[in-house]
Structure 1
Amino acid sequence: MARHNLGTVVSFEVTRTLKKKQFWLTTLLVPVVIGIVIALIVLSNTATDSKVDSQKDATLRFTYSDASGYIDPAIATAFGGTLATDPDQAIADVKSGQSAAYFSYPAQPTKEATTAYGADLGIFDNGKYSSVATQLMVASAQEKIGDPTLTGLARGSFQVDAVTYKDGAVSGGILGAIAPLLFLLIFYVVIVMLGNQMLTSTLEEKENRVTEMILTTLNPTTLIMGKIISLFIIGIVQMLVFILPVLFGYLFFRTSLSLPDVDFSQLIVNPGQMVVGALLLIGGFTLFMGTLVAAGAIMPTAKEASQVFGIVMALVFVPLYAVSLVVSDPHALIVQLFTFFPYSAPVTAMLRNGLGSLSPLESGIVIAELFILGGIVLRLAVQLFRYGSVEYTKRVSLRTVFARSRG
């Protein structure tokens, strides 16, 4: 009978939520906005590329002076340049509009700045002056060196592939961190999108004055667990809706969006890290959801309960302020405090797990802490809901609840 009731609660809660127009309006708002942003970026990048392509064949008529002696006259002529005999007059010609631009190369280009004078073409188009001046110097330097490969090496144009080892095996680096860090992303999505709904889910029955009738036919534990399971299912639906436009944009508009071409076959998946990440996600979800249910059972109205939600969100995001320290010095005191303090532990531990700095002992302690405390908080939430479900006008007194439970 209990299993049947649990299934009934889950089915009812999921169906009721999915039938709400507000749920779909809120859920679809994010992918629609993402789609609009993708479309605007694609159109903008397409227009920019067309403009760049059209300017490739355009020539810029300019004058120049070269105190360094590195500029090759033949190359300068090919670029559209003419040697200026009087720098002051060249600047005056630019000011009067008789010359498009004037480049003044100093005696030591690596220590002194080259000055490019030109007519104001707008914030973005003005950049072409420095671009042409740079290209002319680079082309002249390459001509003097006479070896394109040597020129590239001198400019640092070569690739270095780093291979690092951990415990005698090749470590994944950033490619090894992507998979376990997905659990952190899921945690944030679930808490941010469903936290407030979990906080107010039990308050709907209380504000509608139907909790007494519900509890005559349904165990409070079954009701609470059914609501948590249903919200997790709804969270999966929301994440799938969010992911679709991102995947669509990556697969079909990767070049237009200037996204990196990631070779997913090169991703390194560490089974141990994935198991730890999954357990931290479930434990953290249990603790935070239990806390929100308990808060909802105490408060008489959703308005008062929303204050608790703000505090919970602060606890979720506080570890991000120390993310640089988590990366650089995971054994620092503040990082250790965030790792073992229950309400900052899920985020900090999942981050450290992804980066490979969470030891097996630390992961075991944090996971045990989250599940044990999460179970205690869930049990407390059920008790609070059982005894506080009929308190319609004031907050539930914890002292009263514990006194009744002992009695």
Structure 2
Amino acid sequence: MLGKTGIVIHREFSTRVRTKAFWISTFLTPLLIVALMVLPPVLSMMYADSEGEALRVMVLDESNLLQGQIDTSKSLVFNIIEGDYKERVAQFKEYDKADVFVYLSVRPAEPAQPEVKIISKKALSLAEESSIVKAIQQRIEEIRLLEAGIREEVLAQSKVKLRAHTLVLSKEGEEKAANSGVLFGIGMFLSFVIYLSIFIYGAQVMRGVIEEKTNRIVEVIISTLRPIELMMGKVLGIGLVGLLQFALWIVLTIVLVQVATFLMPAEWTTAMQNNAQGGGAAMPEASQVAAGSMGAVFQTIMDLNIAQVVFGFLFYFLGGYFLYSSLFAAVGAAVDSESDAQQFTLPVTIPLILAFIMAQIVLNHPDGQLAFWLSMIPLTSPIIMVVRLPYGVPGWELITSMACMVVGFLLVTWLAARIYRIGILSYGKKPSYKDLWKWMIRG
């Protein structure tokens, strides 16, 4: 059995690895990952260091809530004016020294809540619109606090800018970085990779089975080996393709990150290291924030239990793929075309889709009861347990979940093989769920 299955594995592996699409996706994916990792903070630093033109804002304050004054900033220059609304709007259209016109009026029903109308000569970005509204809102709040008897210097002293460095104590008492946002991102990224891989490679298994069945090639193949050997050969062969591609993604991503770090200006890499360690850096404040965010990512990754995360990810990557690919192979064997397969693929993928949706809830309580039980169910554990790995999972939970995964894979593969054995040689009739149940019981 192993020898015949090995032939099928070699065929499935070699035919897919030799295609141009495999190598194009293999090289383009790491480039995209590195670009998403490096470009946002780098562009933030470059933008933070550039002066840029300030947005010039004319403010007509009929509500008198601003009391004729509003602070300007590097990005916003305010000019409070008086006059008739229609005349000022007409003037604004011809006036080349203003970019935005803001009109504050009082709501008749709520005099304490002003109505703000913003008119611009070009579409404003979300950040520009938010900064204008925030500046006006802060000025009104300050005035109301001053009217309540709170002095301006007290207001200035009461403003606090916190910069948090989250640490977690290990069992040995060692402090390790544990930025919540970074852990969230790592968990979601790893689970998304598994989610996407199962769909992509599982669909390849199903298409391969359907193609061989419709071309009647399978009738020749079945004469030399058993259906279970053919099914497992396909699942394992395409699984090895996925594993090879994923390994290449890891290696290429690490290489590209090292190259990007080497090509970065020395002051940026130094700033990121200093910010990750809690030290200062000789950079503008805005650049330090951008560098610090990137430094926090690398520091949190370095302080993770890498062995557990990598081993757990590879186990659930393979376990989830083998489990769902067996089901996809059974669906492919039961139908005569991809259009007929749609009615069966949805029930197969519902647990996977549900797990990915529930992962966002689990991330809020990675140690909760919902997270625990979803980590034990083989159909949902490839997504849920991987999401929890960056936060740290007790060893007994991980071992129990893996054991359930192995048992679930063996059970699902056994049931899928029974459907596959009968369905692969069934033609002409569109099967129903009742037929699949009979095949599974009778198989």
**Is TM > 0.5 for Structure 1 vs Structure 2?**
yes
Paired residue secondary structure (1:217): coil
Cα gap change, 1:133 to 1:296, in 2 (>3 Å): closer
Cα gap change, 1:29 to 1:203, in 2 (>3 Å): farther
How far does residue 283 in structure 1 lie from its aligned partner after superposition?
2.4
Q: Conserved in 1, the CA contact under 8 Å of 2:202 and 2:321? A: no
Cα gap change, 1:318 to 1:103, in 2 (>3 Å): closer
Q: Tell me what 1:211 maps to.
A: 218
More displaced, 368-377 or 321-330? 321-330
Q: Tell me what 1:279 maps to.
A: 315
Paired residue secondary structure (2:328): helix
Query: What CA distance in whole angstroms lies between the structure 2 residues aligned with 1:102 and 1:381?
Result: 66
Q: Please, what TM-score do these two structures have when normalized by structure 2? A: 0.62
Report whether the alignment pairs 1:303 with 2:308: no
More displaced, 282-291 or 336-345? 336-345
Q: Tell me what 1:345 maps to.
A: 381
Q: Tell me what 2:160 maps to.
A: 156
Query: What CA distance in whole angstroms lies between the structure 1 residues aligned with 2:87 and 2:439?
Result: 89
Q: Please, which runs of 5 or more residues in structure 1 have no aligned partner? A: none
Q: Conserved in 2, the CA contact under 8 Å of 1:104 and 1:115? A: yes
Query: What CA distance in whole angstroms lies between the structure 2 residues aligned with 1:245 and 1:130?
Result: 40
Query: What CA distance in whole angstroms lies between the structure 2 residues aligned with 1:402 and 1:380?
Result: 8
Q: Conserved in 1, the CA contact under 8 Å of 2:13 and 2:240? A: yes
**What number of residue pairs does the alignment pair up?**
375
Report whether the alignment pairs 1:392 with 2:399: no
Report whether the alignment pairs 1:170 with 2:169: no
Rg larger in 1 or in 2? 1
Amino acid paired to 2:398: S
Q: Conserved in 1, the CA contact under 8 Å of 2:177 and 2:300? A: no
How far does residue 16 in structure 1 lie from its aligned partner after superposition?
2.6
Aligned pairs for 1:189-200 within 5 A: 189-200=196-207
Aligned pairs for 1:309-328 within 5 A: 309-328=345-364
Report whether the alignment pairs 1:374 with 2:409: yes
More displaced, 59-68 or 4-13? 59-68
Identify the match of residue 233 of structure 1 among 240, 247, 268. Answer: 240
Amino acid paired to 1:371: V
More displaced, 310-319 or 320-329? 320-329
How far does residue 97 in structure 1 lie from its aligned partner after superposition?
0.9
Report whether the alignment pairs 1:261 with 2:294: yes
Paired residue secondary structure (1:55): coil
Query: What CA distance in whole angstroms lies between the structure 2 residues aligned with 1:54 and 1:97?
Result: 26
Identify the match of residue 94 of structure 1 among 83, 88, 96. Answer: 88
Q: Conserved in 1, the CA contact under 8 Å of 2:61 and 2:105? A: yes
Query: What CA distance in whole angstroms lies between the structure 1 residues aligned with 2:300 and 2:368?
Result: 32
Cα gap change, 1:113 to 1:240, in 2 (>3 Å): farther
Paired residue secondary structure (2:53): helix
Instruction: Give CA-to-partner distance per residue, 1:92-143, whole Å, 9 cap, x none.
Output: 652341775688899xxxx9678888764234188499389669969x99xx
How far does residue 204 in structure 1 lie from its aligned partner after superposition?
2.3
Paired residue secondary structure (1:362): helix
Query: What CA distance in whole angstroms lies between the structure 1 residues aligned with 2:91 and 2:321?
Result: 67
Cα gap change, 1:240 to 1:288, in 2 (>3 Å): same
Q: Conserved in 1, the CA contact under 8 Å of 2:27 and 2:249? A: no
Q: Tell me what 2:329 maps to.
A: 293
How far does residue 90 in structure 1 lie from its aligned partner after superposition?
6.5
Query: What CA distance in whole angstroms lies between the structure 2 residues aligned with 1:182 and 1:118?
Result: 39
How far does residue 371 in structure 1 lie from its aligned partner after superposition?
0.7
Query: What CA distance in whole angstroms lies between the structure 2 residues aligned with 1:306 and 1:80?
Result: 58
Identity %: 15
Identify the match of residue 224 of structure 1 among 217, 225, 231. Answer: 231
Query: What CA distance in whole angstroms lies between the structure 2 residues aligned with 1:59 and 1:398?
Result: 70
Q: Conserved in 1, the CA contact under 8 Å of 2:8 and 2:234? A: yes
Query: What CA distance in whole angstroms lies between the structure 2 residues aligned with 1:203 and 1:102?
Result: 63
Report whether the alignment pairs 1:16 with 2:10: no
Cα gap change, 1:24 to 1:272, in 2 (>3 Å): closer
Aligned pairs for 1:134-145 within 5 A: none
Q: Please, what TM-score do these two structures have when normalized by structure 1? A: 0.67
Instruction: Give CA-to-partner distance per residue, 1:238-291, whole Å, 9 cap, x none.
Output: 658988799979949999xx9952452541231334433433333222221222
Amino acid paired to 1:232: G
Amino acid paired to 1:156: V
Q: Conserved in 1, the CA contact under 8 Å of 2:201 and 2:325? A: no
Amino acid paired to 2:13: V
Paired residue secondary structure (1:328): coil
Q: Conserved in 2, the CA contact under 8 Å of 1:64 and 1:105? A: yes
Q: Conserved in 2, the CA contact under 8 Å of 1:91 and 1:117? A: no
Q: Please, which runs of 5 or more residues in structure 2 have no aligned partner? A: 144-150, 269-289
